Homo-oligomer: A and B are copies of this chain.
């Protein structure tokens, strides 16, 4: 992490409210969505003022792809799944963020998208703590 990366960056309050901190990768803050229905990471590039993917320069774009791929591998490790969903929507929260969600056939939203699908079911503190520890270990290996 460098000061240049972080200059002016502040996490959107809605994202902060809905998630738990997992770690900071080279470019992105990695967050766990507090919804036990789906193993779900959110990657937020630590750049001020970004809303769209094509505002990233080539180097940041390549780094984001590496970090998305790492998040996919980490989710697979902690929670075997049938499909991974990756999306940058931003209709509600405009700060650029990328969802990486492990999906299982028959899960609460299958085969639809997770966004807008019912109410989140928060983790218990113990389950959240344990999952974050496993995610950190898996991310460190990617």
Contact surface of A with B, Cβ cutoff 8 Å: 51-54, 58, 61-62, 65, 68-69, 72-73, 83-92, 94, 103, 110-113, 115-116
Contact = CB atoms under 8 A, between A and B. Distances in A.
B87 A86 contact: yes
24 contacts: A52-B84, A53-B72, A54-B68, A54-B69, A54-B72, A54-B73, A58-B62, A61-B62, A62-B65, A83-B90, A83-B94, A85-B87, A85-B89, A85-B91, A86-B87, A86-B88, A86-B89, A87-B88, A91-B103, A91-B111, A91-B113, A92-B111, A112-B115, A112-B116
A71 to B, nearest CB: 9
Nearest to A54: B69
- Looking at A72, A85, A91, A111, the one whose CB has the most chain B CB atoms below 10 A away is A91
Contact of A113 (B65, B84, B89, B110): B89
**Interface of chain A, main secondary structure:** mixed
B90 A87 contact: no
Nearest to A72: B54
Given A53-B86, A87-B85, A113 B111 contact: no
Contacts of A89: 83, 85-87, 113
